[in-house]
Structure 1
Amino acid sequence: MSGEQQTSESAGRKTRLRVAVALSAFVCFGGLLYWIGPDQAYLWVKALHIIAVISWMAGLLYMPRLFIYHTDAPVGSVQSETFKVMERRLLKLIMNPAMMISWVLGLYLAWSVYGFSGGWLHAKILAVVFLTGAHVYFSRAVRVFARDENKHSARHWRLLNEVPTVLMIIIVILVVVKPF
């Protein structure tokens, strides 16, 4: 596919339709899980939570890489315009839905399984709040790049690329080891 085909409105509409279908299927599946009962649904909810977290993390790790390459692209170039489309779609079609699903299912699991108790759980939720802060920062950066107003260097984005990685390591250790 050529660059024009990748960035056309038609391609964007098709992508939005696919996401709408996927989200509708997810909602229907969630309704089915609710209908069969919490005991049987626990493992399904946990699996969907993990899938959503992986999708969210993939976006959080990839977005700063796009910013690094976008920083080096001349303003107004085909390359720059392509990065704008890639960043917007990654944010709107993958990262935002995955973050929302991660939060909803994660809070459900924290409530239904742990009753929101445990120091490790509180620390994990705090780390997820910081991860959400990184998401919000990247979301704002997408808008800044869309307006061709980025003032940060590629080095800045390389350093910020490490933030989600460090938070992910902390979260995984808290969930698996439950140190306190």
Structure 2
Amino acid sequence: MLWVKAFHIIAVICWFAALFYLPRLFVYHAMSEDETSRERFKIMERKLYRGISTPSMLATIVLGFWLVSYNIDYYEASAWFHAKLTLVALLVIYHFISGRMIRSFAADANTRSHVFYRWFNEVPVLMLIAIVILVVVRPF
């Protein structure tokens, strides 16, 4: 079980690293004015999303459910866990919204400003704070 927990934590860290960095790339991409920069950001965004973010998300989910399987009765009865699962579901939605934004940038169809992406970048930070508090403190 400790190996599963260790790899779950590693996957979570990798996923959040990607969720923190990808919107920063969007900020810089939205601010870029030359074609060379825009093309470079398209490549960076695609590789980060497909090569790190999505595999890390999948590993996080699979390993998380594997951990739950060790004591499913406890987790089913834990309100903090249901709140955490809700936040994880919202993060998965955020992940796929980011994927749509990548496709928008790839098609040169982005209409949002760098300011929007600066705010968008704060969402996973708030989610991380809430999830860590739920897991460690277990307030309810």
What is the TM-score of this pair, normalised by structure 1? Answer: 0.75
Q: Aligned residue for 2:23? A: 64
Q: Given residue 136 of structure 1, which amino acid in structure 2 is its aligned partner?
A: F
The whole-number CA distance in structure 2 between the counterparts of 1:163 and 1:175 is 18
Residue by residue, what CA displacement relative to the aligned partner does 1:70-89 show, whole Å, maximum 9, x if unpaired?
001126x1110000000000
Q: Aligned residue for 1:81? A: 39
The whole-number CA distance in structure 2 between the counterparts of 1:59 and 1:127 is 17
Runs of 4+ in 1 over 6 A off after TM superposition: none
Choose which of 76, 89, 92 in structure 2 pairs with 1:129. Answer: 89
CA 1:96–1:134 in structure 2 vs 1: closer, same or farther (change >3 Å)?
same
Q: Are positions 1:96 and 2:96 aligned together?
A: no
Q: Please give the secondary structure, in 1, of the residue aligned with 2:66.
A: helix
Structure 1 position 114, deviation (Å): 4.2
Q: Aligned residue for 1:105? A: 63
Unaligned runs of 5+ in 1: 1-41
Percent identical across equivalent pairs? 46
The whole-number CA distance in structure 1 between the counterparts of 2:120 and 2:69 is 32
Number of residue equivalences: 138
Structure 1 position 107, deviation (Å): 1.3
The whole-number CA distance in structure 1 between the counterparts of 2:62 and 2:42 is 29
Mean Cα displacement is larger for which, 115-124 or 160-169? 115-124
CA 1:97–1:49 in structure 2 vs 1: closer, same or farther (change >3 Å)?
same
Task: Give the RMSD, CA atoms, in angstroms.
Answer: 1.0
Q: Given residue 48 of structure 1, which amino acid in structure 2 is its aligned partner?
A: F
Instruction: Tell which has more relative contact order, 1 or 2 (C-alpha 8 A, sep 6+).
Output: 2
Choose which of 107, 118, 123 in structure 2 pairs with 1:163. Answer: 123
The whole-number CA distance in structure 1 between the counterparts of 2:5 and 2:66 is 10
The whole-number CA distance in structure 1 between the counterparts of 2:71 and 2:131 is 17
Q: Rg: which structure is higher?
A: 1
Q: Please give the secondary structure, in 1, of the residue aligned with 2:50.
A: helix
Q: Aligned residue for 1:178? A: 138
